[in-house]
Amino acid sequence: MLSIKNLHASIEGQEILKGINLDVKPGEIHAIMGPNGSGKSTLASVLAGRDIFEVTEGEVTFQGEDLFDKEPDERAKDGLFLSFQYPVEIPGVSMVNFMRTAVNEIRKHRGQEELKSSDFLKVLREKKALVEIDSKLTNRSVNEGFSGGEKKKNEIFQMAMLEPKLSILDETDSGLDIDALRIVANGVNKLKTKDNATIVITHYQRLLDYIVPDHVHILYDGKIVKSGDKQLAVDLEQHGYEWVKKEMAL
Amino acid sequence: MATEQDKILDEVTKSDYKYGFVTEVDADALPKGLNEDIIRQISAKKNEPEFMLEYRLEAYRKWLKMKTPNWAHLNIPEIDFQDIIYYSAPKKKPKYESMDEVDPELIETFNKLGIPLEEQKMLAGVAVDAVMDSTSVKTTFKETLAEKGIIFCSISDAVQEHPDLVKKYLGTVVPPDDNFFAALNSAVFSDGSFVYIPKGVRCPMELSTYFRINAANTGQFERTLIIAEDDSYVSYLEGCTAPMRDENQLHAAIVEIVALDNAEVKYSTVQNWYPGNSEGKGGIYNFVTKRGLAKGKNSKISWTQVETGSAITWKYPSCVLMGDNSVGEFYSVAVTNNHQQADTGTKMIHLGKNTKSTVVSKGISAGKSQNSYRGLVKVIKRADNARNFSQCDSLLLGDKCGAHTFPYLTINNHSAQVEHEATTSKIGEEQIFYCNQRGIETEDAIGMIVNGYAKEVINKLPMEFAVEAQKLLQISLEGSVG
């Protein structure tokens, strides 16, 4: 589904990603862990198409097509979803209106008809229940005045609405208390199918108790330095990043 | 990065005016230029009583001694007032019994604007007094209104049929020597609307006028007078579009509102006159004096405007809160794009006790435009317990445009509570990217963000107007979308 080969990217001339290789197949959950500044969020942003980063080398294909040929909105329409680490507020634009526009854009792209209001509201209710989001939130403006936890839940709600092929969760667990963490993780698990894939970017092993990864990768200084199964996350939690550094003789 | 975003903003904000067309209707016009003889001819053509001619001549003599105002944050090219035609009426006289008699070209024009009269007639609750150039062409719903004693007609008809009312109120809110453009209008005004709501009557429908500037080189000098007697209510809508032109066109209108005891007048405007092309050529000069007098106790006057057009806008709909407990409101969205200039705002003059005013102004600047808010809040010595809240927000698209705020406060009573809030924000790259990531294209994202920003004001508009206003915001900022 996603194939990253030797990806290099920089911001304002400073190289952040220094040759990433990663393959993600349908039905898989990958966890990417790493210390602050290792390039985790940059990787997510580059894949989603944030133009403040410059791709200097390497290639990425998504469902067999060159990802960098496409604008950010086209990538989203193709089924790439990013759960933002810091979701943006858009005052005056209601969640309902925002989601309806997004859902219909994506449906149009897939050659489906736009949803009628009543059908849309039905889907909205179902998905809200699925991810246990407070019904009041969808009546408010996009992320405006939401607490940190509400913003993250709202990201998962949007993921549920848009039914992406590949979801990238950028530190979705940061700033969440244990109850919110459970709700968010449950949402992600419920949305899991054999056809879609998830990349979980996180600092801590905690989230991976709830979302169990098939593969764990450790990102350090712009490169994946170690890959393994879920045990790797446990080891990392026990020994810390210093252990990786020593092990890899970095 | 920043340049990439600028490029996108450039593309989506460089949209050309969508209503650029000219209707070929034979116009019966006076020669160019202005002098006492021209004014006498205008008055004679309109069969006016003596008092009207005297009013015009006096205004003209005052105007001769006045100068164009230059305090606004505007760059106004010199206007040759002798190079303007001051009177032009469609040749075929109005007063049609049925639509069949109306010039087909005219109907076509309305069709292009998406407001065919036939449909308007059927649209429950909307009476249309269509003003084409200077003479009223068609007035509908007159009879329904007449049953309630409501008068809704052209100001020319009012001068003929209700001279006492006109004589009593004309110029009492905006005196002829109020300012340069008001004096000019008072001397040469051609037509406009007249509304009279009798005591205790709640007008059952929105009264609506579509203005349109048409004949080449014709300055438009509309005159509107709205009188709401005790315990009455009316909501009035004004909407405009104009055809594409190369020459600059002058427009200097006056709107006067009088609200007596417990009366409420709501005045809504959606203005979309030709702003000039993307290089800044052509476009309407819009110098308007709009003022409401909340004369009676507990009276209320509310201005709501969505301004997207004109090359130059100079406009300050104001409220004089004379009656005790009277209320004034001003809600405004002003969009400037390309080379447009707008200097707009309001004046809230608190004269009575316990008077209250609210100002919400949302400026949106794009392209190389300049957008200024200018507002005055004045509380006189005997106006105890006056309250004002003003909120002025500016939104910038790109980095070549300007937004300015000029608040003036004159407070002479210690019990007054006056609050002013102002913000300036740039449309965020992060907001656009967030929308992109959900599958929404940049153009649509900008339209969505801008409409969200202006929502507080748009929500104040009557329903069908709000939809039109939202479309206008998209059209004026988004190129192909609309």
Q: Per-residue pLDDT tens for B192-241?
A: 889 999 999 999 888 876 544 444 444 578 899 999 999 999 999 887 55
- For B457, the closest chain A residue by CA position comes to A92
Average confidence (pLDDT) over B375-395? 95
Pick from B216, B284, B211: nearest CA to B251: B284
- Residue A240 pLDDT class (50, 70, 90 cuts): confident
**Residue A51, exposed/middle/buried by CB under 10 A (0-12, 13-18, 19+)?**
middle
pLDDT digits (tens, 9 = 90+) for A52-83: 999 999 999 999 999 999 999 999 999 999 99
Q: How close, in Å, is residue A239 to chain B by CA atoms?
A: 37
ipTM of the complex: 0.95
User: Count of A–B CB contacts within 8 Å?
Assistant: 77
User: CA-CA distance, A9 to B363, in Å (whole number)?
Assistant: 38
Is the pLDDT at B320 greater than 80? The verdict is yes
User: CA-CA distance, A45 to A202, in Å (whole number)?
Assistant: 14
Average confidence (pLDDT) over B34-39? 91
Hey, are the CB atoms on A98 and B448 less than 8 Å from each other? yes
Partners of residue B300 on adjacent β-strands: B264, B327
Most confident of B69-83, B264-278, B331-345, B379-393: B379-393
Instruction: Tell me the C-alpha to C-alpha distance, in Å, between residue B107 and each of A184, B18, B52, B90, B114.
Output: 59, 18, 32, 13, 10
Average confidence (pLDDT) over B157-174? 95
Looking at A175-189, A211-225, B209-223, B448-462, which range is the least confident one?
Answer: B209-223
In order, the DSSP letters of A165-191 are SEEEEESTTTT--HHHHHHHHHHHHHH
Q: How close, in Å, is residue A110 to chain B by CA atoms?
A: 12
Query: CB distance from B459 to chain A under 8 Å?
Result: no
In eight-state DSSP terms, residue B261 is T
Supply the pLDDT for residue B191: 80
In order, the DSSP letters of A5-67 are EEEEEEETTEEEEEEEEEEE-TT-EEEEE--TTSSHHHHHHHHHT-TTSEEEEEEEEETTEEG
Q: Which amino acid does the sequence have at A208?
A: L
Q: How close, in Å, is residue B431 to chain A by CA atoms?
A: 6
On whether the CB atoms of residues A205 and A186 are closer than 8 A, the answer is no
| Tokens 């476009």 belong to residue | B283
Supply the pLDDT for residue B16: 58
Residues of A in contact with B453 (CB under 8 A): 91-92
User: CA-CA distance, B97 to B373, in Å (whole number)?
Assistant: 45
Buried b (16+ CB within 10 A) or exposed e, B321-354: bbbbbbbbbbbbbbbbbbbbbbbbbbbbbbbbbb
Q: How close, in Å, is residue A102 to chain B by CA atoms?
A: 6
In eight-state DSSP terms, residue A121 is H
Hey, are the CB atoms on B434 and A52 less than 8 Å from each other? no
Hey, are the CB atoms on B437 and A76 less than 8 Å from each other? yes
Supply the pLDDT for residue B138: 42
Query: CB distance from B437 to chain A under 8 Å?
Result: yes
Q: How close, in Å, is residue A22 to chain B by CA atoms?
A: 22
On whether the CB atoms of residues B161 and B240 are closer than 8 A, the answer is no
User: CA-CA distance, B102 to B204, in Å (whole number)?
Assistant: 27
User: CA-CA distance, B452 to A96, in Å (whole number)?
Assistant: 13
On whether the CB atoms of residues B282 and B276 are closer than 8 A, the answer is yes
Q: Answer with the residue of higher pLDDT: B129 or B250.
A: B250
Here the contacts of A91-94 (C-beta below 8 Å, separation 24 or greater) are A91/A141, A91/A144, A91/B452, A91/B453, A92/A141, A92/B451, A92/B452, A92/B453, A92/B454, A92/B455, A92/B456, A93/A141, A93/A142, A93/B448, A93/B449, A93/B451, A93/B452, A94/A138, A94/A139, A94/A140, A94/A141, A94/A142
Supply the pLDDT for residue B276: 77
On whether the CB atoms of residues B85 and B217 are closer than 8 A, the answer is yes
- Residue B64 pLDDT class (50, 70, 90 cuts): very high
- For B447, the closest chain A residue by CA position comes to A93
How many residues in total does chain B contain? 482
- Cα dihedral A238, A241, A243, A247, rounded to 10, equals 130
pLDDT digits (tens, 9 = 90+) for A5-28: 999 999 998 999 999 999 999 999
**Residue B215, exposed/middle/buried by CB under 10 A (0-12, 13-18, 19+)?**
buried
**Cβ-nearest to A101 among B428, B440, B442:** B440
Query: CB distance from B454 to chain A under 8 Å?
Result: yes
Residues of B in contact with A145 (CB under 8 A): none
Looking at B108-117, B355-364, B448-457, B472-481, which range is the least confident one?
Answer: B108-117
Question: pTM to 2 decimals?
Answer: 0.78
Looking at A34-48, B201-215, B448-462, which range is the least confident one?
Answer: B201-215
| Tokens 């002479």 belong to residue | B412
Greatest CA separation for chain B: 68
Supply the pLDDT for residue A179: 86
Average confidence (pLDDT) over A187-212? 91
Q: Answer with the residue of higher pLDDT: B354 or B279.
A: B354
User: Which residues have CB under 8 Å from A131's CB, separation 6+?
Assistant: A153, A156, A157, A160, A183, A184, A186, A187, A190
- Residue B294 pLDDT class (50, 70, 90 cuts): very high
Residues of B in contact with A83 (CB under 8 A): none
pLDDT digits (tens, 9 = 90+) for A116-132: 888 999 999 999 888 88
Domains of chain A: 2-249 (3.40.50.300)
**Degrees, nearest 5: CA angle B469-B470-B474:** 115
On whether the CB atoms of residues A21 and A30 are closer than 8 A, the answer is no
Instruction: Tell me the C-alpha to C-alpha distance, in Å, between residue A44 and each of A165, A209, B56.
Output: 15, 22, 70
Is the pLDDT at B480 greater than 70? The verdict is no
- Helices B50-64 and B36-45: angle between axes, nearest 10 degrees: 150
On whether the CB atoms of residues B337 and B477 are closer than 8 A, the answer is yes
Q: How close, in Å, is residue A78 to chain B by CA atoms?
A: 9
Instruction: Tell me the C-alpha to C-alpha distance, in Å, between residue B394 and each of B342, B401, B475.
Output: 13, 11, 19
In eight-state DSSP terms, residue B123 is S
> Strands B284-294, B151-154: parallel, antiparallel or unpaired by DSSP?
unpaired
Sign of CA pseudo-dihedral B92, B93, B99, B100: negative
On whether the CB atoms of residues B473 and B305 are closer than 8 A, the answer is no
**Element spanning B344, H or E:** strand B341-350
Hey, are the CB atoms on A90 and B449 less than 8 Å from each other? yes
| Tokens 């109306």 belong to residue | B102
Query: CB distance from B82 to chain A under 8 Å?
Result: no
Give residue B466's Cα distance to chain centre: 15
Hey, are the CB atoms on A48 and B437 less than 8 Å from each other? yes
Supply the pLDDT for residue B241: 53
Q: Answer with the residue of higher pLDDT: B20 or B400.
A: B400
Pick from B305, B354, B357: nearest CA to B334: B305
